Amino acid sequence: MTEKELKSFLDQKYIEYNNPDFIQSDPIQLVHRFEKKEDQEVIGLLMSTIAWGNRTMIIRSGEKLIQLMGNDPFEFVMSYNNEPLNFVHRTFNGIDLSFFMRGLQNIYLQGGLENSFKSRPEYPGIMGRIYNFREMMKEASHEPRSLKHISDPTRNSASKRLNMFLRWMVRCDNQGVDLGIWKSIPTSELMLPLDIHTGNVGRSLGLLERKQNDWKALEELMRTLRKFDPIDPVKYDFALFGLGAFEGFK
């Protein structure tokens, strides 16, 4: 395909998958359950953090999380007092969840979750925003093992789950999937949540040459996607993910 044909193809697939039907099988459905901004933020961060593996199991674990938090996520965070939490999703356990409660409580006391993703002059764009969030989370007491659940793009991690969370919070196109409740981050800065599906499809379409799914690969992929849409390049996540996860595109 020519570049023009490829853009047209991806635009078509974006429209096909970016609609309310997508929500029914995606972990974002649990974020949509809440109306209060802070509740959406807390559940969004937690759901994106445990978003690896079978999607049905992810959603099931999310339901358990919501039940554990008494269907009041933000209130649970702000009243949390280090009591043990009985939760397990793959390698994310109660120790890790307790750390997230302490970290989020600290962040909200310092101005809120959106504010914790502020830019850093030493790192460009989203890399610096994720780094700043990670540094603020680290202020809370934690076991070293828990930090593996907060990726670090300055160490070349693709930060798939945090980039997905940022897409949920920032993008707003009135199609009903992403929430668009954060206004301090421009959509032009967003990075695609690079995973096995988007990476493989990107390589098949000639959008990506690098073999590892790391931050360098993400930057390579985003350079082309920003040519297709400099204002909202991450919208193509719907196209690439849909082609890989739902159509088995190779």
Tell me the domain boundaries of the chain.
3-245
Residue-level pLDDT at 75 = 98
Q: Which residues of 158-167 are buried (b: 16+ CB within 10 A; e: fewer)?
A: bbbbbbbbbb
User: 115 is written with which tokens?
Assistant: 């504010």
CA distances from 244 to 93, 101, 197, 217 (A): 29, 34, 5, 17
pTM for this structure? Answer: 0.96
**Ordered mean pLDDT values, 10 residues apiece, the chain (250 residues):** 94 95 92 98 98 92 98 98 96 98 98 97 96 98 96 98 98 93 98 95 96 98 97 98 87
Separation of alpha carbons 220 and 217, rounded Å: 5
Residue-level pLDDT at 1 = 85
